[in-house]
Amino acid sequence: MGHNKIQIMLRDWEFPPHYYRQSLSILETALSQVDAYKSWHTYDPGQEHRIDERYSAMPALTKQEIRENFPQGLVPAGHDVRRGLTSGEIGLAQTSGSSDISVTNIWNQEWWDASERASWQLNSHASRIATGNHPEAILANPLNVGFISDNADLPMEKRRLSRFLFLNEKTDPVKWTPRIINRMISELEIYQPAVLEANPSFLARLCRYAADGKSGVYQPGIIIFTYEYPAGFHYQQIRRVFDVSIASSYGSTETGYVFMQCEAGKFHQNSKSCRVDFQPLKPEHGGPLVGRILVTIFNNPWYYMIRFDIGDLVCVDEEGTCSCGRDSGYILSAVEGRVSSATLTTDGRLVTLRTG
C-alpha cells in the first residue's frame, strides 16, 4: 500500500497546455507588477527552471498577508482599485471568519461566474442542468451569501436577485420557526429551481422537519453542497426527502471554484480556473496522500492570489483515475476538512474532520 501511495504522488498529473501557460503568465506578472509578491523574487530559482519547480520554491500566501497588502498591493500595475469600484467593475466581499481571521476581498463577478461555469463541466448532471440562465435556489447562511435580516422576515421578492432565490435570511437556523420552514418548502414549489445550492446542515434541518411532517418537497435537478463540510448525518437526513443527484462543490471567496465532485463521487480540479499545488503531510499523519493545498487563481485581472493557503486538508485519490473519464488535474477521493479542525490522538495519529 505504501509503495502504491508513493507512486501516485510521484506520477505526472495531466494538465492541458493552457494550464502551464497560465501558470507561467500569472507568476511572471505577480513577480514583476504586484507589490505583494515583489519580495518573492528571492525565492525564484529562475526562468531556466520548470514552472512547477518555480512554484514549489515560493512561499504560501496567508490571509494575514492579504490584510497587510489589501487592496492595491494585490492588483497588477495599470489597475486602480478606486476606479474599478467607482465604475462597478469590481466590488468588495468580506469572509465571515468563522474558521480563522476575516478578510475583505476584491470581488469580480465576471471572474466568479466563469469559474462556476467551468466547475459545472466536471459533473455530468450539473453540466446538463446548469445553463447559466437556470433558476437557482440557495439555502445558506446569509453571512456567506444572500440578504441578512434576523429581526424581520423578508418577503420572497426581497430575497430575489437575478435568477437566484435566497430561501433564508437568518444567520442562525435556531431562529427558524415552523412558519419559516414551511415558507421555504412552499417557495421551492413556486420557484421550481433547476439547482438547489445549500449548506448541508441547513438543508438537513429543513429535511428533518419535512420528513417528520411528511411534507412533500419539490425535487430540483441537482443539489450542490457549498460553504461547509457535509457529514454522513447530513446525507442521511437529506436522502429522506430528496431523490436527486447530489454533488459537493469546493472553493473559497478568494479562489473561486477549485474542485467539483463528479457523478462517480470523486473531486476533480477546476484546472480551467485555478492552479493547485499539493503539499503532502508526513507519512505518520496520512501522507503522501493527505496534505494541504495552495491555490493560484487564473483569469482574474483584478486580484492576484498566488499559492493561497486555503486552510484545508484533502486526500489525493490513490488510483489517480476516475470512472467518469475526466483526467485533467488533481483527483481527490475526499476533502478532509479544515486544518484548524484537525487534532491528534494520544499516540500521535492525525484525526481530521472527515475521519473523526
Domain borders along the chain are 2-134+194-351
pLDDT at 4: 55
What is residue 56's predicted lDDT score, i.e. its pLDDT?
96
For 140-158, the pLDDT digits (tens) are 999 889 999 999 999 999 9
Q: What is the 3-state secondary structure (H, E, C) of the chain?
A: CHHHHHHHHHCCCCCCHHHHHHHHHHHHHHHHHCHHHHHHHHHCCCCCCCHHHHHHHCCCECHHHHHHHCCHHHCCCCCCHHHHHHHCCCEEEECCCCCCCCCEEEECHHHHHHHHHHHHCCCHHHHHHCCCCCCEEEECCCCCCCCCCCCCCCCHHHHEECCEEECCCCCCHHHCCHHHHHHHHHHHHHHCCCEEEECHHHHHHHHHHHHHCCCCCCCCCEEEECCCCCCHHHHHHHHCCCCCEEEEEEEECCCEEEEEECCCCCEEECCCCEEEEEEECCHHHCCCCEEEEEEEECCCCCCCCCCEEEEEEEEECCCCCCCCCCCCCCEEEEEEEEHHHCEECCCCCEECCCCC
**Residue 45: which residues within 8 A CB-CB, separation 6 or more?**
53, 54, 57
Q: Which residues of the chain have pLDDT under 70?
A: 1-11, 96-100, 356
Topology of the domain comprising 2-134+194-351: Rossmann fold (3.40.50)
